[in-house]
Amino acid sequence: MSAPAQVQAIRSFSFGGGVQSMAALVLAAQGRIDYRTFLFANVGDDSEHPDTLRYLEEYARPFAAEHGIELTTLHRVMVRSKETRTLFSEITRDGSRALKIPVRFKNGAPGKRACTADYKIAVIGRELKRRGATPDAPATVGIGISLDEIGRANDRKAGPYERIDYPLLRLGLRRTDCARIIRDAGLPVPPKSSCWFCPFKRAETWHEMRRSEPELFERACQLEDHLNTRQAGLGKNAVYLTQFGRPLREAIPDGVDPLFDLASLTDPGDGLCDSGWCMT
């Protein structure tokens, strides 16, 4: 009787579209890390920052194809209805009470968030299980956390069908090293990845959006207005996209001189999703 066939171990990198993820893709192409599958959980073409999606199509995907690396885009598909849902559509659809994103309250504290769990972790987890990952044969999932963000590494958040790996930490790489690796490969450094309306953005990032992407900034203001119209209708307190406890248009003043000290507008925390599934 022949021995049972060995199940090939699944090794997949969670590709966020930012600097660390792109550096990991370059390192994989160079054979410096052992990943040939990269999975990008797209929270929605209406939700991801347009620059991230543009970089993905213009640089990341062609580079992956050139080096024989799989770079697959995944979406959140509802189990029963088979509807493809985006984060923006979920938080804005008629009748929805879901906030999902970590909106800020009057005192600046963030609310609960489900965006990372529902639109990143669960989406990739479902794909890994579809490919054969089980508690007995877990997939190895690479996360793009660099040495300067080591506090975001947290193995306890792994599901029973996965084992979390931090290849950039093992190589002792910082974000600046990641940018150098990308440039040395002849590629432009990607912008920081996140949803364009993420409440964890730094004040400087919001200010830059207002200066260079006024239409996108206005969309964020309109989203905040929409959420608060709904909050008021439900008899709930107002919520905000910054930690300053006032509307985005007021919190991020127009026409601030670039030399102006933005320290007073900066979140004292690191302002990042601590799991590492976003903003990498």
Query: Where do the domains of the chain lie, and which CATH numbers do they carry?
Result: 11-85+115-194 (3.40.50.620)
Closest CA to 175 of 157, 148, 193, 150: 148
How many residues belong to the chain? 280
pLDDT digits (tens, 9 = 90+) for 123-166: 999 999 999 999 999 999 999 999 998 888 875 567 889 999 99
Mean pLDDT over each residue of the chain, to the nearest integer: 89
CB 38 within 8 A of CB 64: yes
Share of the chain above pLDDT 70, in %: 88
Q: What is the mean pLDDT of residues 36-40?
A: 98
**Secondary structure letter of residue 10 according to DSSP:** P
Q: What is the mean pLDDT of residues 197-220?
A: 96
C-alpha span between 192 and 280 (Å, rounded): 7
pLDDT digits (tens, 9 = 90+) for 53-103: 999 999 999 999 999 999 999 999 998 899 999 999 999 998 888 889 999
Give the pTM. 0.89
